[in-house]
Structure 1
Amino acid sequence: MTDHQKEIALRTSQLLLFGFVGLVVLGLWEVDLGGLLVGAGFLGIVVGLAARQTLGSLIAGFVLMFSRPFTIGDWVQVGDEEGIVTDITIFNTRLENFDGEYVIIPNDRVSDRAITNRSQKGLLRIRVDVGIDYTADPECAQQAAIEAISQLSEVVDAPPPQVFPKEFGDSAVVLEMRFWVDHPTPPRKWKAVSAVVSSVKTAFEEEDIKIPFPQRELTGRAETGGFRVHDGAASSDDRADATPEARGND
């Protein structure tokens, strides 16, 4: 029996025990259960209206316990919150985010938001982009990247790593590197990404594959005379050709 199943059994047995003890006590006191049930019905309506959110969290807590979208220790994202599940109660779920902060989320909010569980499968695919110069051979770069990633211990062999041309960037042809890590946790993901970046950069340097930095090409229109680049100060002829406004700015 897993820890999650033990927790469900414990909470269910507690409710059954409390209910049984309550019925026994009422029977010993010879209380009219019919009238009590009518009064309990009215009381339930009042309490339900006054504590809708609490009851919603309570019901959602039991739904989460039985549906099991995640368990304690899983790396999950609930809406905008992401972290490791540290506790699941019938009222709320507690996460520890990557800054060491504890985030408590009511279960009714958990149940009506998208839940991403990155631990359940036991494998996590990671994507990292890298740009190569337009003069480089994409196939050669793909092969070099795959070989560099495959030799890393932080990355699993199956499924194998993949590298695909993704798009034409402003200054580079962008390749998307895909690889998998097992037993995914945030530290394992960051360690794998760091290892892949370092290994691929080294492989590209050995193969003389350039990773370009952002750059721009400037051209001038023919009717304006184009651009002229000088090594030193402008000559007297160039200054004479300048417009009065340009000379004034000088």
Structure 2
Amino acid sequence: MQHAFYNFSVLEKRRIDIAVEVSYADDLDKVEDVVLSTIKNCDGAIDKDLTVFDYSEFDSSSINFNIRFWIEYPGEPSYFAMKNKAIKAIKKAFDEQDITIPFPIRTLDFGIKGGQKLSQMELNKK
């Protein structure tokens, strides 16, 4: 049985991929600008002109995107330390710019056939 062997250090750099979600209410151009600026100002990221930002999907509670950037490998900060640093920097930038990472949202429909609307249920309680 053969297995592929990946030598991550042959290029002396490694790509970090981070998946993030933002609210449907946020300005997507602003989100992209904030994230790219945050990564470009993050010590440890290299080849900053090769940073890639792309929206990936409309999810049930969010619009999702990926940010991909390069670090020296092997090197310091390590892969996991740099990923951690970038996630914290993105979260801080979002907080400063009022960009929302949404919680999952579920809509309950109480107006189905045979059911009662929630407002009617509240009136019936009184």
The answer to whether 1:184 aligns with 2:74 is yes
**With structure 1 as the length reference, what TM-score do the two structures score?**
0.45
Deviation at 1:184, TM superposition (A): 3.2
Aligned to 1:208: 98
User: Matches of 1:120 and 1:185 in 2, distance apart?
Assistant: 13
Structure 1 range deviating more: 220-229 or 127-136: 220-229
User: Matches of 1:145 and 1:184 in 2, distance apart?
Assistant: 25
Aligned to 2:117: 226
Name the aligned partner's letter for residue 218 of structure 1.
L
Question: What secondary structure, in the 3-state scheme, does the structure 1 residue paired with 2:79 have?
Answer: helix
Residue of 159, 172, 190 corresponding to 2:62 = 172
> Max radius of gyration: which structure?
1
Question: What secondary structure, in the 3-state scheme, does the structure 2 residue paired with 1:121 have?
Answer: coil
Cα distance change on mapping 1:159 and 1:113 into 2, 3 Å: farther
Where do 1:192-203 residues align within 5 Å? 192-203=82-93
Residue of 140, 144, 147 corresponding to 2:34 = 144
Task: Decide whether the 8 Å contact of 1:129 with 1:176 is kept in 2.
Answer: yes
Cα distance change on mapping 1:152 and 1:132 into 2, 3 Å: same
User: Matches of 1:148 and 1:187 in 2, distance apart?
Assistant: 17
Greater RCO, CA 8 A, separation 6+: 2
Cα distance change on mapping 1:123 and 1:160 into 2, 3 Å: same
**With structure 2 as the length reference, what TM-score do the two structures score?**
0.86
User: Matches of 2:83 and 2:62 in 1, distance apart?
Assistant: 21
The answer to whether 1:135 aligns with 2:42 is no
Name the aligned partner's letter for residue 83 of structure 2.
V
User: Matches of 1:144 and 1:125 in 2, distance apart?
Assistant: 20
Which segments of structure 1 move beyond 4 Å, counting only runs of 4 or more? none
Q: Cα RMSD over matched residues?
A: 2.2
Identity rate of aligned residues, in percent? Answer: 25
Task: Decide whether the 8 Å contact of 1:150 with 1:160 is kept in 2.
Answer: no
